[in-house]
Chains A and B, each alone.
Chain A
Amino acid sequence: QVQLVESGGGVVQPGRSLRLSCAASGFTFRTYAVHWVRQAPGKGLEWVAVISYDGNIKYYTDSVKGRFSISRDNSRNTLYLEMNSLRTDDTSVYYCARTPAGRGAFDLWGQGTLVTVSS
């Protein structure tokens, strides 16, 4: 069925790195922009990063610029988020989500993966 499935979350010490993955199925992944959106425990939603359908355009929220890197492999229908220099305030559930071409609505979300940054 049409779905996004995140993986790679876990507990990591401050300053360390982690890579998240998001596997897409049931739709033509290469035609959608895809995003990472996070939610700290008990808090609201925060958009993190986006990558265009072909991987050529990337944008980040200011708090992760220079530390996080978004990428995709359209041959594997997979989205990635490489997170470096992790901080305690990066602790969140990380969701991947897609936006159809030319539109700004997140119409499909994954179930999320929890990243906990703690010593």
Chain B
Amino acid sequence: DIQMTQSPSSLSASVGDRVTITCQASQDISTDLNWYQQEPGKAPKLLIYDASNLQTGVPSRFRGSGSGTDFTFTISSLQPEDVGTYYCQQYEDLYTFGQGTKLEIK
């Protein structure tokens, strides 16, 4: 089974800050990696697919990069509506989510 490790598990940042979350796979998954945002009490929402592609309708301040085992998710300028928990997910071998990163506004 492929394990996904996200860091940090939580973070607090100010509006306008650049925020970075990392995700490491336990084995090479090429670019079979997606990122989701889950607002409190809601279903997850797809933000980035195939490591670096922005889902239709998602603001351009969200960016993904990486391949192999190491991936990065970045919000270039944090907005109040970005609060929530972010998950990475691999699909190279079935499906596995990272444990999540809870993002709060200072």
Contact = CB atoms under 8 A, between A and B. Distances in A.
A111 interface: yes
Interface string B40-66: 001111100110000100000000000
A47 B97 contact: yes
Interface string A91-109: 0000100010001111101
A95 B43 contact: yes
B100 A106 contact: no
Given A44-B100, A45-B97, A104 B91 contact: yes
Interface residues of B, number: 26
B55 A106 contact: no
B43 A111 contact: yes
B100 A105 contact: no
Given A35-B95, A104-B34, A106-B36, A45 B87 contact: yes
A82 interface: no
Contacts of B92: 104
Q: What bracket does the count of chain A residues touching chain B fall in? A: 20 to 34
Interface in B11-70: 32, 34, 36, 38, 42-46, 49-50, 55
A99 to B, nearest CB: 8
Nearest to B29: A104
Given A44-B99, A47-B94, A106 B46 contact: yes
Interface of B: 1, 32, 34, 36, 38, 42-46, 49-50, 55, 85, 87, 89-92, 94-100
29 contacts: A35-B95, A44-B85, A44-B87, A44-B98, A44-B100, A45-B36, A45-B38, A45-B87, A45-B89, A45-B97, A45-B100, A47-B94, A50-B94, A59-B94, A61-B94, A62-B1, A95-B44, A99-B91, A103-B49, A103-B50, A104-B90, A104-B95, A105-B34, A105-B46, A105-B49, A106-B89, A107-B49, A107-B55, A110-B43
